[in-house]
Amino acid sequence: MRKFIIGNWKMNGLSCDLDEIVTISAVAQLHTSVDSALCVPATLIERAVKAVGAFPIGGQDCHMHKSGAHTGCVSGDMLSDAGAVLTIIGHSERRAAQQEQDSDIRAKAEAAQAAGLKAILCVGETLEEREAGKALEIVLGQVAHSLPDAAAGGWLSVAYEPVWAIGTGRVAEPADVAEMHAAIRASLVARFGAEGEKIRILYGGSMNGDNAAILLAVPNVDGGLIGGASLTAAKFQPILAAAQAKGE
Ligand code: 13P
């Protein structure tokens, strides 16, 4: 399976950052054994798409409805209309700050698919949940309840992002990542049969150039969702290189 390396710029990026987006896209496209993409703020999607050519640009959320009275929200059709080809769904920062529930995230994923977008659907436990020995139960519950029935077919990837590893510099132990990704894989295969083997499972949480090779070597880690280390080409490139080395 080709590795999938996606940058999540979160709420970062202004016009003056378009040059960096172009540099990132150019560097990423040199890594021909890797699938890569950059998810930028909605305000930058259209300009980023125009600036980078064929490189995939994505959004970071997608409303479950196509249009209507939802002030401040962005629909799948809007993302697609702006030139996005993918979107993140159910990021833990949205699960926490916007109180997004599994049922919302499932509807959003279905809306993304209907709009012709690929979806990166995020799951992950908090530190309290891990310390209480509930990490597997929580994450497998999120997988069961937030993935749509039509998740197979190549348009959806799952991103396992332990909340306590996001933006903290604290990376999950490879053994814990292996355990979680194996459990997610087993649940995907139980639900989707052989198609469940093909759904990519990405790791996210303080992935960087120093730890990417180790994390990407863990069984069932099919790529990465990268926050801070995707903000510059200089930081993103070593992650792409580590993924390229696995793909050769
Ligand atoms: P960091 O790579 O900054 O820890 O963020 C991970 C993340 O939340 C990607 O979606």
> Which residues touch 186 (CB under 8 Å, ≥6 apart)?
none
Span from the CA of 71 to the centroid of ligand 1 (angstroms): 27
* pLDDT for res 247: 80
Give the pLDDT of residue 85: 98
| Assessment of whether the complete model's pTM goes beyond 0.75 | yes
3-230 has which fold?
Answer: TIM Barrel (3.20.20)
Please give the number of the atom of ligand 1 that sits closest to the Cα of 225.
Answer: 9
To the nearest 10°, report the CA torsion of 59, 236, 157, 79: 10
Distance CA 67, CA 207 (A): 35
pLDDT in tens, 40-61: 999 999 999 999 999 999 999 9
The region of weakest confidence among 12-21, 164-173, 183-192 is: 164-173
Query: Could you read off the pLDDT of 218-235 as tens digits, one per residue?
Result: 999 999 999 999 999 999
Most distant CA pair in the chain, distance: 48
Give alpha helix (H) positions in 82-151: 92-97, 102-114, 127-131, 135-146
Report the pLDDT averaged over residues 110-117.
98
Answer whether 70's CB lies under 8 Å from 110's CB: no
With a 6 Å cutoff on the Cβ, whether 56 touches ligand 1 is no
**What tokens appear for 95 in the block?**
């699960």
Residue 122 structure tokens: 């995020």
CA of 198 to the centre of ligand 1 (A): 24
Pairing of β 223-226 and β 201-204: parallel
Q: Find tokens 């890797």 and name the residue.
A: 34
User: Pocket of ligand 1, candidates 88, 160, 226, 230: which has the most ligand atoms within 8 Å of its Cβ, to mutate?
Assistant: 226
Determine the distance from the C-alpha atom of residue 77 to the mean position of all C-alpha atoms in its chain, rounded to a whole number: 19
How many CA atoms within 13 Å lie on the side-chain side of 126? 7
Beta carbons of 236 and 201 less than 8 angstroms apart: no
CA pair distance 197, 25, nearest whole angstrom:
29
